[in-house]
Amino acid sequence: MFVAGNGAFLDSTGASFGLRLKNDRLNQMLVLLGHVMVDVAVIGAGQTKYGNHQLGLKGMWAEAAENAFASVDQDFDPRQVDEAFIGSVAFGGGQLGNTAALLTEHSGMEGVPVRRVENACASSGFALRDAWMAIKSGQADVVVAGGIEKMNDLSPERKRFWLGVSGDTEWERLAGLTFPGTYALMARRHFHEHQSTHDDLVHISVKNHMHGFENQHAHLRKQVSFEKAASGFMVADPLTLYDCCPTSDGASCVILAADHVVRQFTDDPVWLRSSGAGSDRLALHDRPSITQLVATQKASKSAYSAAGITANDVDLAEVHDCFTVAEMIATEDLGFTESGQGGMFARDGQGIRNEGSVCINPSGGLKSKGHPLGATGTGQAVEVFKQLRGSVESGRQVRDAQIGITHNVGGSGATCAVHVFGRDRNE
Amino acid sequence: MSDSAQWKGYLISYSNDSLLLQSPYIYSDSPVYGPDSDSTTMTVAGIQYLQTQGHQISAIRLPDSVDARVVFMSTSVDSPQRNEELDSATVDWHVIEGDEATLVLSQSDAEHFEFEEPTGTELIDADLFNDMNAAWELECSKQHVSQGAYVSQSQYLEGGAARLSLASQKFDGQIIWPPRQMDSFGNRLPPEEGLLSDAATVESWTKLSAAGAPSEFSLRAPILGGIQTLLVKFVEGPRGVFLVCDDVDYSPNIGDKIEFGVRRIYAQEGLIRYGLKAIPFIV
């Protein structure tokens, strides 16, 4: 082993790398060593329906994993999995410790090195990133990334406890804030700084319900009118019930493979072209601006750069719309529109499937599809995988989709993971 | 001769060596504490008022109902109740508790004082008063363990000075609040050495419905019809989030001026957590 200049370590063959290397630095070192960077493909993906499940953790995970295994074109044996990463906040379900080991034990992956990944609502977005890095590092060829959350087996009182645990407990929570409150503060400030309005948020709600209406896996499969969405029960002024995602049960599972083994599983892979991530100060009041998420900006910039694309190249985006204002701000931070123009982007219908410049949340997003916290990030990847392979329900397909992204945010923006998927490998 | 005024949401009457504080709320013809107030919060307000009048208070004797630790963290004024080693000769002020929601802070330990009757009282809704009292009684019982966020005693005390007196750090020309451990270069930041001014401006606000409020407020939020939170920016630059005190009837606007008073936040396992809440300047 020797230690590289930046403190990363290599083993004597040069095949094993410290995981903290930045992609570009890793590439440089591989070039020096005569290695070719491994590309990563998605070979299978599946999920449960999101909603109020009768199933517990083990049953939901088994269903998601089974669907993922079945989606692999060739026979898939879960004993081929080298490593597994499962995101969960461990909200309900009663298995806080060693959740991941329990789940793999019950899904044919007994004995596989596994761990639970926790980054609030971005837990499985980061599980996906960890899985991607495991293959990129050369340590694994076949890796499972997944997520799970059981949210509806708790009393309303305990739910309210869990819904705020990923904010800043000491300062925000004692000021009465749960996430509806923090996002409401962001919305009102955005209205003030950028002349956006609540009507802009209503457009987002209506669009996402329209997209999710035909999604068989969506929690809230109902279309809503503008008038109904505009007059919902006030949850956290100015956000109404129609601005807020539901609390959902659900699980999702994605199978990744290194390029040199992909053809064992499929001739039709979707390439996971890059992974970007960022973080920011936990508390809203500690950030210079509350109308943008720096973590999203960092993550998307990094992911776009590594994939060699710009926001203009994206055909569809699964965006973290835990609240409608989150989608409005994300369209700015992800580069689909200029800073401060997210309201106009929504008003003009720019995110509507096959009508706007880019389809935002073809699945219905968190608003309609649902938000089982730890399952959301890889659930977004399931949707992009299916969209790029043309295998979603009829009527839901984004036309000519070549590039899709997922955008998964933890809390009010303390963490964010962005992934770029493509029909083609990186050039 | 005394002057009558309002201070930190309380009515006060001040003469040369004594201060009367009274809750503005009236129920059954008697003053009663508002939804977030008690003798501790009013004592803190009284000491702060005397300090603004130039009084140097070395130490103060407190009634048993007052949380001496909160008084110290809020005002830096010590008491024999908090510090058993305190030299009793240094105690130069006394807090005398009235039968109702009134207090006198005096350098004398006399039992009778003459004050001008404070003006500006208002009737409190009977249901609100009774329901809030019942909720606090339940919440303050040692048996009540809410499902709310657990801010342990040590964490609460660690942040106490910043939470109760706006103690802030100074580093590289910047004022930092709430306190941070390291800067973005990994340098350890100094301990708190200054206080933010008690003035800030509203940058955003929300009112959470009772259903959306954190569970530690679940007993009181339904009574209050939700809870109101302000994001404010202090004159010195830092921002913070604060609840509005005592269910004041207030429709915020961005740009409104705000001051702060110590109030109850919530109770867990028999310990009341106090902190600053926003008091709007209502014209």
Structure confidence by residue, pLDDT tens digits, A111-167? 999 999 999 999 999 999 999 999 999 999 999 999 999 998 887 777 777 777 788
Residue B63 in any domain: the answer is yes
- Lowest-confidence region among A151-165, A411-425, B143-157, B175-189: B143-157
- Lowest-confidence region among A159-168, A298-307, B41-50, B163-172: A159-168
Contacts of B243 in chain A (CB under 8 A): 175-176
Residues B160, B115 share a domain: no
CB contact under 8 A, A185 and B231: yes
- Lowest-confidence region among A13-17, A96-100, A333-337, B120-124: A13-17
Residues B169, B110 share a domain: no
Residues B171, B215 share a domain: yes
Residue B146 in any domain: the answer is no
User: Can A121 be counted among the known catalytic residues?
Assistant: yes
In the predicted structure, residue A33 carries a pLDDT above the cut 60:
no
Residues B114, B179 share a domain: no
A60 versus B210: the higher-pLDDT residue is A60
Domain count, chain B: 2
Of B147, B206, B265, the CB nearest to A181: B206
d(CA B81, nearest CA chain A) in Å: 27
Residue B141 in any domain: the answer is no
Residue type present at position B71 = V
Residue B238 in any domain: the answer is yes
Residues B119, B18 share a domain: yes
Of A180, A188, A284, the CB nearest to B208: A180
User: Can A371 be counted among the known catalytic residues?
Assistant: yes
Torsion angle defined by CA atoms of residues B5, B11, B12 and B13, in that order, rounded to the nearest 10 degrees:
70
Asked if B178 reaches chain A (Cβ–Cβ under 8 Å), the answer is yes
Residues B88, B17 share a domain: yes
**Bridge partners, residue A420, by sequence:** A274, A405
**What is the SS3 assignment for A117?**
strand
In the predicted structure, residue A202 carries a pLDDT above the cut 60:
yes
Indicate which residue of A190, A203, A320, A371 is catalytic: A371
Tokens of A56: 């517990």
Residues B170, B110 share a domain: no
In order of A64, A93, A142, the CA distances from A84 in angstroms are 14, 20, 9
Residue B135 in any domain: the answer is no
Scanning A153-212 for CB atoms below 8 A from B yields: 156-158, 160-161, 164-165, 169-178, 180-181, 184-186, 188-189, 192
The answer to whether A257 touches A109, Cβ cutoff 8 Å, is no
Residue B138 in any domain: the answer is no
Question: How confident is residue A30, by pLDDT bands cut at 50, 70 and 90?
Answer: low
Q: Name the nearest CA neighbour of B206 among A333, A324, A187.
A: A187
Contacts of B164 in chain A (CB under 8 A): none
CB contact under 8 A, A176 and B149: no
Return the ∠ at Cα B278 (arms to B275 and B281), rounded to 5°.
150
Residue B129 in any domain: the answer is no
Asked if B229 reaches chain A (Cβ–Cβ under 8 Å), the answer is yes
The mean pLDDT of B61-75, rounded to a whole number, is 96
Residues B172, B269 share a domain: yes
CB contact under 8 A, B242 and A175: yes
Of B214, B240, B273, the CB nearest to A176: B214
Nearest CA in chain A to B221: A176
CA atoms within 13 A on the CB side of B110: 9
Residue B87 in any domain: the answer is yes
- Lowest-confidence region among A361-375, B13-27, B211-225, B229-243: B211-225
Q: Name the nearest CA neighbour of B78 among B53, B55, B63, B61.
A: B61
ipTM: 0.92
Residue type present at position A79 = R
- Digit-coded pLDDT (tens) for A151-199: 988 877 777 777 777 889 889 988 989 899 999 999 999 999 999 999 9
Residues B271, B224 share a domain: yes
Whole-model pTM? 0.91
**What is the SS3 assignment for B198?**
coil
In the predicted structure, residue A58 carries a pLDDT above the cut 60:
yes
In the predicted structure, residue A8 carries a pLDDT above the cut 80:
no
A91 versus A195: the higher-pLDDT residue is A195
CB contact under 8 A, B214 and A165: no
Residues B180, B87 share a domain: no
CB contact under 8 A, A171 and B240: yes
Domain region containing B104 = 3-124
Residues B103, B176 share a domain: no
CB contact under 8 A, B213 and A178: yes
Residues B168, B120 share a domain: no
